[in-house]
Amino acid sequence: MASPTAAIIVVGNEILSGKVADSNSAFAARELRAAGVSLERITVIPDDIGVIADTVRDYQPRFDVIFTSGGVGPTHDDVTIAGVARGLDVPVVLDPTLLEAIRQFGGEMTAPRRKMAEVPEGAEALIVGKLNFPIVRIRNLYILPGIPEIFREKLSALKAQLTTEPFFLSTVYLQVAESSVAPQLNNTLSAFPQLLLGSYPKFGDGDYRVRVTFESKDAGYVERAVQHLVAQLSASIIVRIE
């Protein structure tokens, strides 16, 4: 029942400086969850070779699969390939498959276009999904472009290869302050220690004041935990169970 673990490294000055909101990691979080993968980190870092290298060095041995988003392309600020290579202590080389794909696009083979064929040594160019845009994999690292349409299409295609047992989720909505049900939540977790239990207060208007989520890869375990909590609560505070 152990889930594969994942991390997402978003390379993006444009996100850190507030020019663009990152939507790729939220999309990836949903997709990975649906595939039964446990996402453990999302980290947004600058377009900086040293920082990318440090983050790769830290994450690569620690998580089962790592996705990078952004910093792939022909310009000065596209340093993800160089950063990943440094983090893995391998040189940057030209990939013949990518070079050929760029040639087939036509036009002159300029330095910026050739840069798009650079990969960390030992990488392979993968064709997955429908868009004719290969992605680079090296060991357990997948290097994806940050452009949301491409990132999403490629991540969804990769998801099919990762899918393991899914998580089951049940949600209980309560019309009561979170602090007044804390004892019942705590004893539910004591009785069901493998449960992924979350409680999220809602601020302002709405038909509930706290949302309690129950998750596990065992549907029966989730069901029994929900019943354990519900049995301790007055029916009048339970808005609904989903």
Binding segment toward a copy of itself, per CB under 8 A, in 86-94, 194-202, 221-229, 231-239: 194-202
**Bridge partners, 10 (sequence order):** 44, 69
For 148, other C-beta atoms within 10 Å of its C-beta total 14
Closer residue to a copy of itself in complex, CB, 86/211: 211
Exposure b/e, 156-195, CB count within 10 A at least 16 = b: bbbbeebeeeebeebbbbbebebeebeebbeebbeebeeb
C-alpha 33/C-alpha 141 separation (Å) is 18
Measured from the CB of residue 122, what is the shortest distance to a copy of itself in angstroms? Answer: 25
Site stretch for a copy of itself (CB under 8 A), options 80-88, 91-99, 197-205, 233-241: 197-205
Rounded distance between C-alpha atoms, residue 52 and residue 44, angstroms? 10
* Total residues in contact with a copy of itself, by rule CB under 8 A: 63
Which residues, listed in sequence order, are joined to residue 170 by a DSSP beta bridge?
214
Q: In whole angstroms, how close is the CB of 104 to a copy of itself at the nearest point? A: 15
Which parts of this chain interact with a copy of itself (CB under 8 A)? 13-23, 25-26, 29-34, 38-46, 73-77, 110-113, 115-116, 147-150, 167, 169, 178-180, 182-183, 185-186, 189, 196-201, 203-204, 213, 215
